[in-house]
Chain A
C-alpha cells in the first residue's frame, strides 16, 4: 500500500460538515488539511439540473446504491434485505454531498429537544415515557449552541422572521421557537398562493402560522466571508437538484469559494475512505490516519494527526463499525452505544383538492408557511396517548409533473390508468396541494444500526444495516396530526382531503426525508454515548465525528442548522483548546 506524507488533519467527506470544518480550521490556524471525498465535482453539470427525469426520478445527484447500499429489517427476527434503490431517504455523493440537492429548510430545534427525557419526566412523570424508549438528554443545551445557530444563519445566508427575539414574542414569526439573539439576516421569501391559503386556513382555526426559515435568498446576499449570492428566481427546480444560479445555499457556493482560496487545504475527489487506522485503548486510543481507494482503484494510506469523520449519519456509523472503533450496541443487553438511537423523522402528508389553480410550478426550497402549535411540548399531552409532536406546513417548493401527476380525490374511486383516471388527473393536477407534517421520532430500544451479515459492497465490506420500525408513539402521533391536517385543508377551502392512511411497517419506497439521526450519539459520559459534546470520540481523542449521527434524538426540525451549529462549536473547541493541548475536551 502506498503511504502518503502525513497531514495535520484529514477530513472524511466533502459535504456541509466536512467543508465547513475545513473552512473554519483553515481560517484561524496553519494546520495542513486533506479532505477526502468519494464522489467527484459535478458543478459543470448543474445547468442541466432542470430535468425532472434525470434529477428527481433517476436521482443523478444521489449516492449510487450499486456502490454503497444500506439494508433494512424491521425487527431482530426478520431477515434484512438491501435497499436496492434509495427512496425513503436520498443521501448524496460528490463535492458538496447531500447539501447540493437538499431542500434548504432551515429551522432550529426546539430548546426542549436537547432535554427530551428530563423535561418530559418533569412535566408528566416517568410513567408517560413510551415503552422501550432510549431517550437521554444531550450533553449540550440550546442556550449553549444559540450563538452557533446565529453564526450559521449569517454564513449560510438564511431568510425568515424571528418569533422570539431575546425572549420577546413577535407575531408573524414562530412564537413557539427558542429565543434568538438576532433577527434572520434576510426577510422571508415571497409566499406563493398555496402557502398563503394555508396561512388563512390555519389562522381561521386559531393557530399561529409563520413563514418558514430557509437557506434560499430572498434578496441578493453577501455573507461575512464575502461570498455573494443572487436573489432566488422561484424556478421551482430546487430540492433534488442543484441550484443553477446559486440562490440556494449549497456547500459548493457558500463554503467552497472560501476553501478553494486556502493553500493549506487539499480537496481530493474520487477518494473513498475504507478504514480509520488506529491503536485502541480506553480514552487514550490514537487514530493514525485513514486508508482510501483512489480513482484508479489503488489503496492508499494517508497518515494524519487528527481525523474528522464527516460522512453523513450513515457513513459515520458505518465507518466506526468497519474500523472496529467503539462498542457496538447490543439491544438485548443495552450495552454499547455505537449504532444506538437511530431515528428517522416522522414525515407524511395529506392531499388537499382545492377549487382554484395553484400555479405550483413556481416555488423555491423551504418556501412556505408552517405552524408549530403542535410541535414539541407546546401543547398539553396529559390526555393524549403519545408524547411530542411536530410542524404542520404547506410548502411551495415547485412541483413537477412526473412526481405529482395522477393524484385524484379518493372519493372518486378511480382506477390508476385509463381515460377516466387521465381526465381527473389533468383536472386536479394544479389543484392539489400537500399539507405536510414533520415530527419527532422517539429513540427506541429496537431501532439501531449494525453491520449486515449477508450483503456486501463492491469493496467486499459488509453493508450498514438498519433495524427500524415505526413504534406506537409515532403511529398515534400521526393519527392525531392527520386529523388536524385534514381540518386545516378544509379550512383552506379544499373540496376534499385525502387523509394519510396511517403507518404500516417502515417503508423504503416512499420518500420521507433525509433526516436520519443517531448511531454515534453524543453523551455526557463514555458509557452512554460514542462522542462527547464536542463530537470528540470518547476512546480516541484525536478523532471527531460530526453530523446528525451524534444526535441522541430527532427533532421535528430539519437537522442541518443544528448539524452546522454543532460543527462550529467543535471547530472552535479544536482551535481554541485541542490544538494547544491535544487531549480529551470533556
Chain B
C-alpha cells in the first residue's frame, strides 16, 4: 500500500463551512478563524498533487462567484476522491469484458477499457501544475480537453459533488442545495404539495442522516480497498 497522503486545506480556501473529512469526522471551519486554521484530510485515492489539480479544475467548472459558493466550498474534491476509491471508481458494476471498441459511436455510451480511476490517474498527468495557473489559463486548458472522457467525468463528478447528500463527502453544509433551493430528503410534503403555486417554497434543507437519525453507509464505503 502506498503511503497515505493528505490534502491540506487552509480555512481561507473553504469559506466558513462544515467539511466532512475522509475519516468521517466533521470539522467546522469558521470564517473568523480563517488563515489561522488548516485542515488535514487523508486522501483515499488521489495523491496530494492530483487532489490539488482536481480541486482547481472543479472550481473552474463550478466556480465560486457572485451567484454563490461553488466546488471549493462544497468540498467537491473530497467527494471525487471517495467515489474513485469506492466500487464506482474501479468499475465494479460495469460490463468490463472485451473486446473494447474505443471508437464506438456515441449512442453506445462509453466503450473504453479504462476505469474512472485509470482515466483520472492517466488524464491528470496532462494537467501537471494546473493548480498554479491563473484562472484564465485554467479555463483555456479545460477548453482544450473539453471533448475528452476525463473532462466528461470531471464535469459529471463536480455536479455530483455539489448536490449529493453530504454523506458522500461533498455538498458540505448543504451549500449546493441551498444554492438551488433544494431541501434534501424530506419525509413528507403532504401538507404543502397543493399550496405555494407560483411561489418559491424553500424549507430548510436536511440531510439523510438528520432525517433518519442514524448513520447511513454510502455506496463508496462498500469497498474501501486502497487503489
Contacts and interface: CB of A to CB of B under 8 A. Distances in A.
Nearest to A469: B107
Interface stretch (B30-38, B40-48, B89-97, B119-127): B89-97
A231 B165 CA distance: 26
Interface string B146-178: 000000000100111011110110000000110
A70 to B, nearest CB: 9
A426 B180 contact: yes
A191 B194 CA distance: 7
Given A54-B218, A79-B101, A429-B181, A235 B186 contact: yes
Nearest to A244: B187
B95 A84 contact: yes
Contacts of A402: 159-160, 163-164
Residue of A58, A191, A359, A508 with most partner-chain B CB within 10 A:
A359
Contacts of A449: none
A503 B6 CA distance: 48
B160 A65 contact: no
A233 B110 contact: no
Interface in A361-412: 361-363, 400-402, 405-406
Given A57-B160, A235-B185, A401-B180, A51 B218 contact: yes
Interface stretch (B8-16, B18-26, B197-205): B197-205
Residue of B61, B187, B193 with most partner-chain A CB within 10 A:
B193
B111 A418 contact: no
Chain B interface residue number, banded: 35 or more
Interface string A46-84: 011011111001111000111001001010000101111
Interface in A221-256: 231-237, 244
Nearest to A65: B95
Nearest to A57: B160
A161 B70 CA distance: 46
Contacts of B62: 417, 422
Contact of A405 (B63, B109, B111, B159): B159
A51 B167 contact: yes
A455 B100 CA distance: 11
B182 to A, nearest CB: 5
B145 to A, nearest CB: 12
Contacts of B192: 359, 362
Residue of A57, A84, A504 with most partner-chain B CB within 10 A:
A84
A414 interface: no
A481 to B, nearest CB: 21
A501 B20 CA distance: 42
A416 interface: yes
B27 interface: no
Interface string B199-224: 11100000010011000111100000
B114 to A, nearest CB: 12
Contacts of B180: 401, 405, 426, 429-430
Contacts of B104: 81
Contact of B197 (A84, A196, A430, A507): A196
A429 B67 CA distance: 13
Contacts of B97: 82, 455-456
Nearest to B199: A357
A484 to B, nearest CB: 25
A234 B218 contact: no
Contacts of B218: 51, 53-54
Interface string A189-216: 0111100100000000000000000000
Contacts of B142: 417
A406 B197 CA distance: 23
B110 A192 contact: no
Residue of A51, A417, A422 with most partner-chain B CB within 10 A:
A417
Nearest to B112: A84
Contact of B187 (A233, A361, A509): A233
- Identify the 7 closest CB pairs spanning chains A and B, nearest first: A50-B185, A233-B188, A401-B163, A69-B95, A362-B189, A53-B164, A65-B95
28 contacts: A50-B185, A51-B208, A52-B163, A52-B165, A64-B93, A74-B107, A192-B193, A193-B197, A234-B188, A234-B189, A235-B188, A357-B181, A357-B199, A361-B182, A361-B183, A362-B193, A401-B163, A401-B177, A402-B163, A416-B155, A418-B63, A419-B63, A422-B70, A423-B67, A426-B68, A430-B180, A430-B181, A456-B97
